[in-house]
Amino acid sequence: MEETKDLIQQRREKLDEIREFGVEPYPHKYEPTHSTAAIHRDFADIQETPDEPQTVRVAGRVMTKRDHGKSSFAHIQDGEGRIQIYVRRDQVGAEPYKIYRRFDSGDIVGAEGTVFRTRTGELTVLVDAIQLLSKSIRPLPEKWHGLQDIQIRYRQRYADLIMNPEVKDVFLKRTQIVQAIRDMLNAQNFIEVETPVLQPIYGGANARPFTTYHNTLEQSLYLRIANELYLKRLIVGGFERVYEFSRDFRNEGMDRDHNPEFTMLELYQAYADYHQIMELTETLIAETAKIIHGTTKIRYQEHDLDFTPPWRRLSMVDSVREHSGIDPVPLSADDLYKEAAEAGVDLAGDETKGEIIAELFDTFVESKLIQPTFITDHPIEVSPFAKKKPEDPEFVERFEFFICGMEVGNAFSELNDPIDQRQRFLEQANNLKAGDSEAFMVDEDYLRALEYGMPPTGGLGIGIDRLTMLLTNQYSIRDVILFPQMRPEN
């Protein structure tokens, strides 16, 4: 950057001076014997200066440096924490000390020495030899306030991670969350699979896709908006329990809980219905909360959440009745339209009864669902891959679950009747033709798979980013995605 030229220039000059001492500022390797955490662990009990000092080698980034003439203290930071080092001229030698004086905060160094405790009780490495492992020529943000500017934190996540340990912790927890879920599913004989990101026909959700083009095939391809239809093909093929952590892409707006690319766990279990999937869902998430927090009761922003199963189950119609005062069941589509419009729901006028119910839910219910809640039995019109309820074909065996007003997951008893599925596809295709940019096309190959026969199957999708937000108390999805989507800087 132009503005930092002076400081960068100064550091480049130091780089040249270090080279003039015959030292390579970017060597190829170093072999630490201890991480900073290992030193704190292994030497926790030592007093002042031990009788039989043990030599350690530790490597990391210089974060602070306090020069005192002929000696100097510094803290170095590695992947696990920090350790103080104490560099004395009479210990390392006059010339190495001169070189060390050219080190800056931000430099990566390797230090060899013995561990002792300072007068003030801090565990410290008394350095016998210190080596530059990588010269930093761009200054770090200020040591006390760290890096605050949210724009720089997202654009330069590397700087954010160096300066803000709590950010690193969020992303470590994200990995732990994914690993916890993976372990639990594997333990239940689920098989992790990989399915296409580039799809000739997108489907499995209602969303606008990103479109790309394959030159050799001379064909448009879409980045997946979901992997649902591929995983169900695998159920047809005889994999009876499959899952995938799927990076999905939706060409839509961005806000605190939407990023154009996001991670969804989808899983499918043959012979299960949505009731079993509900139990699996609440167990998976409660157990994950326990692994991360040791409890199923956690705080998110201003809410105390309780993930302890069983979660509340409420049909969509009941939830609408409860929160809007409108009971859709006895009403005709026309009457429901009038009531909904009167209540302030924004409607175009051509909605079906089921679509109006879904609108009522969005308007009156969704934001009020704070504690984990299963909303079940959606209208068929908004659920093209779910099985009808045997006792009421206007509704389907489906649930979504909501936490803090956010939809976190979606599941159904999967539609496996190929004739019915074809009909639902045709309705979507008509919607697409009628201008609904989020409807999708008929997937003939998927229908062919269903025609071979798919066992009764329960399926589930969980928004991993949103789940991570909840379990790490982050307000924005950008705070749980390492590199959130941003406009170009210039």
- Between 116 and 425, whose beta carbon lies closer to RNA? 116
Contact predicate 250/226, CB 8 Å: no
What is the DSSP secondary-structure string of 195-214?
Answer: --SEESS--SS--PPPEEEE
89-92 long-range CB contacts below 8 Å, 24 or more apart?
91/126, 91/127, 91/128, 92/127, 92/128, 92/129, 92/130
| Residue among 42, 80, 128, 252 that touches RNA (CB under 7 A) | 252
Residues 178-207 that bind RNA (CB under 7 A): 205-207
Q: Rule CB under 7 A: say whether 487 interacts with RNA.
A: yes
- Between 142 and 444, whose beta carbon lies closer to RNA? 142
Residues 347-366 that bind RNA (CB under 7 A): 358, 362
Q: Rule CB under 7 A: say whether 346 interacts with RNA.
A: yes
Per the structure block, which two tokens stand in for 484? 């959130």
Residues 1-40 that bind RNA (CB under 7 A): 1, 3-4, 6-7, 10, 14
Binding segment toward RNA, per CB under 7 A, in 34-42, 232-240, 376-384, 448-456 = 376-384
Residue 113: helix, strand or coil by DSSP? strand
| Residue among 69, 390, 435, 453 that touches RNA (CB under 7 A) | 69
Q: Rule CB under 7 A: say whether 309 interacts with RNA.
A: no
DSSP label at 438? Answer: T
* Cα–Cα distance for residue pair 214/222, rounded to 1 Å: 10
Least Å distance, CB 294 to RNA, is 29
Least Å distance, CB 238 to RNA, is 26
* Cα–Cα distance for residue pair 51/75, rounded to 1 Å: 24
Least Å distance, CB 393 to RNA, is 17
Binding segment toward RNA, per CB under 7 A, in 283-291, 304-312, 379-387, 445-453 = 379-387
Count Cβ atoms below 10 Å from residue 476 Cβ, excluding itself: 15
Q: Rule CB under 7 A: say whether 301 interacts with RNA.
A: no
* Cα–Cα distance for residue pair 444/429, rounded to 1 Å: 12
Q: Rule CB under 7 A: say whether 368 interacts with RNA.
A: no
| Residue among 23, 152, 178, 291 that touches RNA (CB under 7 A) | 152
- Here's the x/- map for RNA, 384-423, by CB under 7 A: it reads as xx--------------x------x--x-------------
Least Å distance, CB 31 to RNA, is 26
Contact predicate 192/182, CB 8 Å: yes
DSSP label at 227? Answer: -
- Here's the x/- map for RNA, 101-140, by CB under 7 A: it reads as ---xx----------x-xxxxx-x--------------x-
Least Å distance, CB 390 to RNA, is 20
Cα-atom radius of gyration of the chain, to the nearest Å? Answer: 29
* Cα–Cα distance for residue pair 228/331, rounded to 1 Å: 34
Least Å distance, CB 395 to RNA, is 13
The 3 state secondary structure assigned to 128-172 is: EEEEEEECCCCCCCCCCCCCCCHHHHHHCHHHHHHHCHHHHHHHH
- Between 146 and 456, whose beta carbon lies closer to RNA? 146
Residues 433-462 that bind RNA (CB under 7 A): 438
